Structure 1
Amino acid sequence: MNPPVDRVLLDYAQDKIAVVDRHGTYQYLNRAAKSILGYDPDDLVGENAFEYMHPSDRDYVRTRFEETIAVDDEFVDVTVEYRHRQRDEGWVWLESRMSNLTDSELGGYVVSTRDISDRIAAERERDETETRLRELAANTDDVLWMFSGDWSELLFLNPAYESVYGGSIDAIEADTDAFLDCIYPEDLPAVQRSMAALSRGESVDMEYRVNPGENYNRWVWVQAEPIVEDGEVVRIVGFTRDVTDRNRRERQLAVVDNLLRHNIRNDMTTILGQAELIADDPEVDAPERAAVIRRVGEALLQTTEKQRETLHLFRSPACPTTVDVADAVDAALASVRVRYPAATIETTLADGLVASALSEVEVAFSELIENAVKHAESDAPTVRISGRVRDDEIEIRIDDDCPPLPEFEYRVLTGDKPMSDVYHSTGLGLWLVYWIVDLSDGRVEFVTSDETGNTITVVLPRAPAPTPE
């Protein structure tokens, strides 16, 4: 006699169909038990299903089963995931659905089960990949970020943001426009245009300045891409890399190249021209021409020495240390007074001028003070130096009676104007000052006047005063 149609259908089902009594003992299994577990169905009939479950999952599944069949006033079904032992002693991940429905003909509760091993493996691989990515994001110096397509929601931002931009992740989570406050105001319009371009589906590659707490001295490189689904920008992803050191090196190379192409060439042209005039007619103004050669040659030697100091600064950049600024100014004054005894140099230095700076800051003060004396129109120039503590900063102000420093000179120095064949620095001294102060996380400020001369202020981060021994 042929078996009932429903039994044939059950045996062709891909899922394992079982009937268990209230204790969890198998009463019936279809043929899928063989393909999923490796057991013949008859081998498992009479066996307790819980004894074949992984010890870590057994109590959980038993509890859910008992809770389900205990309900008798309403229909209840639950789904559980667990590991079941196979005939070869391995384990297979199963998902079982069971309910509290039963009748006398069944003699138990129907449990339908399917193999979810591939899904579990895929989920684990995904979770491991996500964990590795999050560990990478947490430990990289690059800022990794993701926003919604209209910039209204922050979807991801790693901790590097706070050190690079100087803002907080909490602030952006509350208001996605908060990161705009960390961008240099003059660069902000370009950034906003790029944000709009990304929302339109365009890629972006740009650089701009960030971090108000560091006077916007950080340069960042940003690459970003829109994620488009069904013709709509749904997400915007990108990374931000701190390229401050790279930009600094590029500017350093540009300055040295500029110096070689313009300043040194011009000086050598002067020396050679004066030498040719002496050679052509040594009787005419030879002493004056020799003086010009000597003056320009000495300036070239000074430039060479500054270049040596600059290269040393680039090759072996030190970290800021605690510096007594008053002592550094006094040491700089001592060397300038020896070379320019006719100059009057007045100092008013407050107590507690202790900064975090490179030890080479003395060289920067010496350069600024010497310039203030050397370029004065008077034979007995006066230079006024004052120092004060303002909040978390140390300010050293140098006032001179010199002709106003050309605006393009200090605008190029501070990065407000690009260096070009038209706008190029006249020497290496101010650049050496700028780099020493910049590497000290400080800044140089310039104010010029036709009536009162120049005011140059060096601003350095304040450091705690040394603890007495």
Structure 2
Amino acid sequence: MESEGSDGRVGDDEQTDRYRHLIEHVQDAVVEFELVDQEPIVVSVNRSFVDVFGYDADAIRGQPLNEWVVPDWKIAEARGLDANTSSGEINYQEVTRETANGLREFLYRGIPYEDGVGSGGFAVYTDLTEIARNERRLKVLNRILRHNLRNNANIVAGHTTRLLAEFDEPDAATIESAATVERAARELERLAEEAGHIRRILQRTTDETVDIDVGTVVRTVVDEHRRRSPNAVIDVTVDDGETVLADDRLRYAIDGLVDNAIEHNPSEAPRVHVRLDDPTDEPDATAAEWAVLHVEDDGPRIPLNERDVIQDDEAISPTYHGSGLGLWLTELTVEAFGGELSFGVSDDLGGNDVSIRLRRP
């Protein structure tokens, strides 16, 4: 083994030992191979490869890698990736590969190298199987639940109206029962809609946020709620031209808070105030970097356990999970933009003060 040279650089053998130590303890499955006529021949594998693929290191060493891990119907795909590696190109692709226990899904990275003797490379496999399966399950559940919730809610609401029409003079108890059923049906419809919004939040990346005019988004949301809840008194204090880094999904977060402030307020005329912090009220550095949007109301406080669940201070359980999806929708939206959701008490209205902190452009 070469020692450290006079110039302070580590010798080749020591570098190799360190590299081997690193590869051996990487949690991803790693294969080192040499290319023979564009065919990857296994030189070595790390422990994770043995654990994930289930093949003994001695058995696979010196063997064509594709014969062990590539299903027959994926050979053409694998050869294309090998050709890229042979030409010096780094590959990134999601692939299906064969293990001793069946097929699994991986993020494959093929990294070529030239060592002066021949060409070879590394195949790095990150196991995505459970993530991919969970995504598919959630997608199926989302489609089924949203479809069934919406359809059954419409059926319940329609039949309730029809049943009431059968009574010549329904008594107060009958009317109240029908109204309760109809409210529950509308709540199911709203849950289905919010579930769809959450899915859109989780599916889209936030790598390319843009400058969004907060005032425009707030007024669009508030106008919609004024039409839906004409008895509510909703004030807006947001200047034009105030922008944050987000995208069009920001309306979901604001809509969730305004909706929550109205729907959970027993008052016949709920009061809501949507305002943006005056930058002069905060330290210069904070005001320059962050905008804080408040949605205040005069309703009862959001229960502590619901606030704790949203902010990860309380585990989600059958008892503590939140009364709806509105706050979850807001939290997930704000989180997607690298912001923060917080809960307080409104000094002006006496109810909740739920604030969204987002980065300025």
Q: TM-score, normalised by structure 2?
A: 0.51
State the distance in 1 between where 2:222 and 2:344 align: 22
Distance change in 2, residues 1:386/1:123 (3 Å): closer
| Aligned: 1:423 with 2:312 | no
Distance change in 2, residues 1:453/1:134 (3 Å): same
Matching residue of 2:54: none
Distance change in 2, residues 1:123/1:318 (3 Å): closer
What's the CA shift for 1:395?
Answer: 0.6
| Aligned: 1:321 with 2:219 | no
Distance change in 2, residues 1:309/1:343 (3 Å): same
Q: 1:399 aligns with which of 267, 286, 296?
A: 296
State the distance in 2 between where 1:442 and 1:136 align: 38
State the distance in 2 between where 1:129 and 1:364 align: 52
Matching residue of 2:118: none
Deviations 1:96-146 (A, max 9, x none): xxxxxxxxxxxxxxxxxxxxxxxxxx9533334547889999xx9xxxxxx
Matching residue of 2:333: 436
Matching residue of 2:178: 290
Matching residue of 1:457: 355
Contact 1:345 1:382 in 2 (8 A): yes
What is the DSSP-based 3-state SS (H/G/I as helix, E as strand, rest coil) of the residue aligned with 1:295? helix
State the distance in 2 between where 1:327 and 1:311 align: 24
Give ranges in structure 1 of 5+ residues lacking alignment: 1-80, 82-121, 141-245, 464-469
Contact 1:404 1:449 in 2 (8 A): no
Q: What amino acid maps onto 1:457 in structure 2?
A: S
What's the CA shift for 1:361?
Answer: 0.7
Matching residue of 1:303: 191
Contact 2:293 2:356 in 1 (8 A): yes
Contact 1:393 1:459 in 2 (8 A): yes
Q: After the TM superposition, which residues 275-424 of structure 1 pair with which residues of structure 2 at under 5 Å, given as runs?
A: 285-319=173-207, 320-350=209-239, 352-388=241-277, 389=279, 390-424=287-321
Q: What amino acid maps onto 2:175 in structure 1?
A: P
What's the CA shift for 1:311?
Answer: 1.5
Q: After the TM superposition, which residues 192-231 of structure 1 pair with which residues of structure 2 at under 5 Å, given as runs?
A: none
Q: What amino acid maps onto 2:255 in structure 1?
A: S
State the distance in 1 between where 2:12 and 2:335 align: 48
Contact 2:342 2:356 in 1 (8 A): yes
Q: 2:13 aligns with which of 125, 128, 132?
A: 125
Q: 2:344 aligns with which of 447, 452, 456?
A: 447
State the distance in 1 between where 2:276 and 2:190 align: 28
Contact 1:345 1:385 in 2 (8 A): yes
State the distance in 2 between where 1:314 and 1:326 align: 25
What's the CA shift for 1:437?
Answer: 0.4
State the distance in 2 between where 1:124 and 1:401 align: 71
Q: After the TM superposition, which residues 133-282 of structure 1 pair with which residues of structure 2 at under 5 Å, given as runs?
A: none
Distance change in 2, residues 1:313/1:135 (3 Å): same
Percent of residue pairs identical: 26
Q: TM-score, normalised by structure 1?
A: 0.40
State the distance in 2 between where 1:432 and 1:340 align: 21
Give ranges in structure 2 of 5+ residues lacking alignment: 3-9, 29-130, 280-286
Q: Which structure's relative contact order is higher, taking Cα pairs within 8 Å and 6+ residues apart?
A: 2
State the distance in 1 between where 2:268 and 2:357 align: 30
State the distance in 1 between where 2:346 and 2:305 align: 15
Distance change in 2, residues 1:368/1:125 (3 Å): same
What's the CA shift for 1:372?
Answer: 1.6
State the distance in 1 between where 2:24 and 2:217 align: 43
Deviations 1:190-213 (A, max 9, x none): xxxxxxxxxxxxxxxxxxxxxxxx
Distance change in 2, residues 1:371/1:123 (3 Å): closer
What's the CA shift for 1:373?
Answer: 2.4
* Equivalent pairs, count: 217
Contact 2:236 2:273 in 1 (8 A): yes
What is the DSSP-based 3-state SS (H/G/I as helix, E as strand, rest coil) of the residue aligned with 2:15? helix
Contact 2:273 2:297 in 1 (8 A): yes
Q: After the TM superposition, which residues 11-160 of structure 1 pair with which residues of structure 2 at under 5 Å, given as runs?
A: 124-130=12-18
